[in-house]
Amino acid sequence: MKINALSMLACSAIFAVSCTTAKNYKINSKSGTNTQGTADFVQKGKNVKMDLNVYKLTPGIHAVHIHEKGDCSATDGSSAGGHWNPAKNDHGKWGSEHFHMGDIGNLVADKEGTARIVFNTDKWCIGCSDESKNIVGKSIIIHAGEDDFHTQPTGNAGGRVGCVEIK
Task: Provide the annotated active-site residues.
Answer: 65, 67, 83, 91, 100, 103, 143, 160
Rounded distance between C-alpha atoms, residue 82 and residue 91, angstroms: 11
10: enclosing H helix or E strand? helix 5-12
- What one-character DSSP code corresponds to residue 82? S
The 10 Å CB-count burial string (b at 16+, else e) for 127-159 is bbeeeebbbbebbbbbbbbbbebeeeebbebee
What number of other Cβ atoms are within 10 A of residue 115's Cβ?
22
Question: In terms of Cα–Cα distance, which of 114, 137, 95 is closest to 52?
Answer: 114
The sign one gets for the Cα dihedral 108, 146, 59, 163 is: positive
Residues 103, 84: Cα–Cα separation, whole Å? 8
Nearest Cα to 56, choosing from 71, 40, 43, 38?
38
